[in-house]
Amino acid sequence: MKKTFALVCAIVIALYATIVPAQEDKYEGPNSMLNLAAKDYLDVPPFEEPLIIQHDLSRLSSTMAYAQLYDMLCNAENYVGSAVKLKGPYMPYQSEAGELMHFVLVYDMQGCCELALEMLPTRGANIEYPEMNTEIEAEGLFDICNDDGVRFVALRINRINIVGQD
């Protein structure tokens, strides 16, 4: 009787784990957590400089920088509005809709895993992006954005610095 009960419980748990899919709801948050009145996720005014950096990933070891960015991507609510500084290769990406997106990559120490943080320019920022894989430094404010129900995180930037150039 006990064995049968245990077996039934195990089967029910296994079925629940396998059959019930992970639910992905449409994100209904504001278009931008930094600008709650924004009608579109791109609409954020420029921030005052110089920023007081709260999370400087550029001075961390590769292990720590990777882990810190991972924490920021997984627990984004804890970092909204904080000033972040990143250093890494620049990576452009064209979406299926034809929109050109801009990312800064952070690699782990082995170089086989990378995390990308999208950079979104603030309103009126005229940024000249370099060639792909150019080492850049980006300082900005961390934001959570809503693109037609799709939630994503981004770094709001006024400008970027190319490492090695004045």
Q: Does 71 bind another protein (CB under 8 A)?
A: yes
d(CA 65, CA 108): 8
At residue 144, the 3 state secondary structure works out as strand
State the number of binding residues for another protein (CB under 8 A). Answer: 23
Residue 57 corresponds to which amino acid? L
Closer CB to another protein, 36 or 97, in the complex: 97
DSSP structure string for 63-129: HHHHHHHHHHHHSGGGTTT-EEEEEEEEEEEE-TTS-EEEEEEEE-TTSS-EEEEEEEEPTT-----
Q: Does 66 bind another protein (CB under 8 A)?
A: yes
Give least dist CB 105 to another protein, A: 12
Closer CB to another protein, 43 or 118, in the complex: 118
d(CA 69, CA 87): 12
Residue 7 CA neighbour count, 13 Å, CB half = 4
Q: Does 14 bind another protein (CB under 8 A)?
A: yes
Among 1, 17, 37, 100, contact with another protein (rule: CB under 8 A): 17
Site string for another protein, 22-41 (x = CB under 8 A): x-------------------
Contact region with another protein (CB under 8 A), list: 27-35, 79-87, 94-102, 106-114: 106-114
Closer CB to another protein, 70 or 129, in the complex: 70
145, 152 in Cβ contact below 8 A?
A: yes
Interacting residues with another protein (CB under 8 A): 10, 13-14, 17-18, 21-22, 61-64, 66-68, 70-71, 74, 108-110, 112-114
